[in-house]
Amino acid sequence: MKLQKLLYYSQVWFFIKKNDKLFQDKIQAWIYGPVIYDVWNNFKYMKRSVLIPYNRAINLDFTDEIIFHLQDVWNAYGHLSGADLVDLTHSDLPWKNSRKGLLNDQPSDNEVLIDKDTLSDFVLDSSNKIPVINRGNSLGHYSNF
């Protein structure tokens, strides 16, 4: 669950910084927040708090820019649990818009749209970094403090 939410925030913040997508996979609006189906399908066997086995990892050749971006996402969100991240994503406009008209427990494969119109609450800090998110933050959690 945590991996899914970190991928979502990686995509969101990359779009904020570069006005472009980090990856092309569709993010779906599942009950417990944003999910990339292929990632879920690949790791669905894993239990909570288990590290991804080395033999399931794929070695990717990222640019320094992407590595720094992913480190920035980790610094902002890595300390949060999967449950914390579910709560956080449920307050995000992209996920909420994708779930409009659905019951809380209704499955969906609606796409979570990440664009300028849905990201107005996401604001980089004064150092142009992703602000560190504290547990228990609610709406407005992306504003500079």
pLDDT at 87: 95
pLDDT at 140: 42
pLDDT at 138: 46
Residue 88 CA to residue 136 CA, distance in Å, equals 8
The reply to whether 94 falls in a domain is: yes
The reply to whether 17 falls in a domain is: yes
pLDDT at 42: 85
Q: Which domain holds residue 68?
A: 2-118
pLDDT at 49: 66
Are residues 1 and 85 in contact, defined by beta-carbon separation less than 8 angstroms? yes
- Residues (pLDDT < 50) of the chain are 138-140, 142-145
The reply to whether 138 falls in a domain is: no
The reply to whether 105 falls in a domain is: yes
pLDDT at 136: 61
How many distinct structural domains can be found in the chain? 1
The reply to whether 86 falls in a domain is: yes
pLDDT at 139: 39
The two three-digit tokens of residue 110, written as one number:
């609606």
The reply to whether 137 falls in a domain is: no
Triad 121, 117, 114: Cα angle to 5°: 85
Quick one: which H or E segment has residue 35? strand 33-35
Is the full-model pTM beyond 0.85? yes
In degrees and rounded to multiples of 5, residue 47 shows phi and psi of: -85, 165
The reply to whether 93 falls in a domain is: yes
